[in-house]
Structure 1
Amino acid sequence: MDTAHASAAPDYADMTLDELRIALAPEIAASAIFDGWNETALVTAAEMAGADPDILRLAFPRKPGTGQAMDMIDAWIASVDLAMEEAWPPERLAELKIRERIRTLVAFRLEAVAPIDEGVRRAMAIMAMPQNAARSLKLGWRSADIMWRLAGDVATDYNHYTKRAILAGIYSATLAVFVNDDSEGKADTHAFLERRIDDVMKFEKFKHQLTSRDYELPSLTRFLGRLRYPSR
């Protein structure tokens, strides 16, 4: 018996329910490939990980409609967020240009879910249901916010919101391409991502040029003053 491996195994019994949700979310996502995002996936995930299924049911209690499924998807997305933060801390990203920081983070997320693309497809179908729209937007915003913070964004004005809304849209659109991409190594998805990031960088450049030219624009107050008190 490999004692080093055994000692490294997580002790699910000592975890809080919040910790258990995140810890077992990847196993649930893997089970969702075959079983869907439901209680069957919960039980399968618990058995695969050596956890108590009853405790996992407490972590993800049954809810009306797709509430339980959304809880599982929420925890799974949070686990991807956490893995991304651990793999790409700000100090590591600081070596890259801003464009590469964003591309790297989105690419990391795609690589993280590549083995379970069918589970991703099933999750997106649930998230697209009208009753889940508001929560899905919130989850997309949360991931986009983490990516921008890792990339070093400190904006607090309207840019804070526009950047996150745009990135959430890019990531969502890229995932939609990803789950239907049969190209070698998901090449079409990565090409799509590059084009979308190009669009964002062009927009940011245009916005910077526009705002930096503000000082060149005529002052409306000065202009009206001249109309009222013309120079002699």
Structure 2
Amino acid sequence: MTPEYDPTETALLEAALLNVPFDGWSEDTFKAAVSESGIEPVVARALFPRGALDLAISFHRRGDDEMVRRLEATDLSGMKFRDKATLAVRLRLEAVEDREAVRRGTTLFALPMHAADGAKLIWGTADRIWTALGDTSDDINWYTKRATLSGVYSSTVLYWLGDDSLENQATWAFLDRRIGDVMQIEKVKAQLRGNPLLGRVFAGPAWVLSKVKAPAGARDDLPGRQATPS
């Protein structure tokens, strides 16, 4: 289901996107969006206190919403997990209608003062994908799954930004390789767990990690919680 967005927020974002190719996600872009949309500056600042930074965040999260909508409209039955994950990342990129806005956003969130916001957005995208695919993990795997997919997603975005191949075929091939690498890691982990000797060696660390739990309830930050030892 597509979320219903505040029309004032939408008007500001659409006006900003017209200026982003020229001025990036900057204060000049924010002021131009306010002027061109006819929205009162005090109202615009109340909706987006940090100006263009908050507009860029809204742009990214709307892309996540569109990706989830497309996933929910797709029949995933019969698909292998790696194919589902690959499709989800591909749908996230295909949901982007303005590649230059993403490019400018990448530059914005590469700045030290905004790096935490950028990391949170990437983590949020990975979380939305895992949730949409039905992930029910409630232990350390909740974190490792999202951390791994965050790496896949961010590297694929960077590759995609420089891809000039027909219909982004080079990007999709790159994505498939990255997902393949992740599946190899999971295969190795399974082999280690199945090895009696190594199982005893890692019994202590495994016990500690088993006490780490996923965040309780809906959150948009990274910390989790630790289970009370029994």
| TM-score bin, normalised by smaller chain | 0.7 to 0.9
TM-score by length of 2: 0.72
The residue number in structure 2 matching 1:52 is 39
The residue number in structure 2 matching 1:7 is none
Change (3 A) 1:170 1:217: same
The residue number in structure 2 matching 1:97 is 80
Question: Structure 1 CA distance, aligned partners of 2:87 and 2:106?
Answer: 22
The residue number in structure 1 matching 2:176 is 194
2:129 to 147, 155, 164: 147
Question: Structure 2 CA distance, aligned partners of 1:139 and 1:34?
Answer: 23
Change (3 A) 1:218 1:137: closer
The residue number in structure 2 matching 1:88 is 71
The residue number in structure 2 matching 1:176 is 158
Change (3 A) 1:119 1:95: same
In structure 2, runs of 5+ residues without a counterpart are 201-230
Q: Which has the larger radius of gyration?
A: 1
- Pairwise CA distance, 1:178: 1.0
Alpha-carbon RMSD across the aligned residues, in angstroms, is: 3.1
Change (3 A) 1:21 1:144: farther
Is contact 2:30-2:52 (8 Å) kept? Answer: no
Is contact 2:122-2:150 (8 Å) kept? Answer: yes
The residue number in structure 2 matching 1:36 is 24
The residue number in structure 2 matching 1:229 is none
Which amino acid is the alignment partner of residue 26 of structure 2?
Answer: N
- Pairwise CA distance, 1:27: 5.5
TM-score by length of 1: 0.72
Question: Structure 2 CA distance, aligned partners of 1:155 and 1:183?
Answer: 37
Question: Structure 1 CA distance, aligned partners of 2:199 and 2:106?
Answer: 50
- Pairwise CA distance, 1:89: 2.3
Question: Structure 2 CA distance, aligned partners of 1:85 and 1:218?
Answer: 39
In structure 1, runs of 5+ residues without a counterpart are 1-10, 221-232
Question: Structure 1 CA distance, aligned partners of 2:199 and 2:58?
Answer: 52
SS at match of 2:98: helix
Is contact 1:42-1:53 (8 Å) kept? Answer: no
- Pairwise CA distance, 1:29: 3.7
Change (3 A) 1:209 1:51: farther
- Pairwise CA distance, 1:166: 0.9
- Pairwise CA distance, 1:99: 1.0
- Pairwise CA distance, 1:26: 5.6
SS at match of 1:88: helix
Question: Structure 1 CA distance, aligned partners of 2:189 and 2:124?
Answer: 24
- Pairwise CA distance, 1:39: 4.3
Question: Structure 2 CA distance, aligned partners of 1:209 and 1:23?
Answer: 53
Is contact 1:90-1:151 (8 Å) kept? Answer: no
Is contact 1:88-1:150 (8 Å) kept? Answer: yes
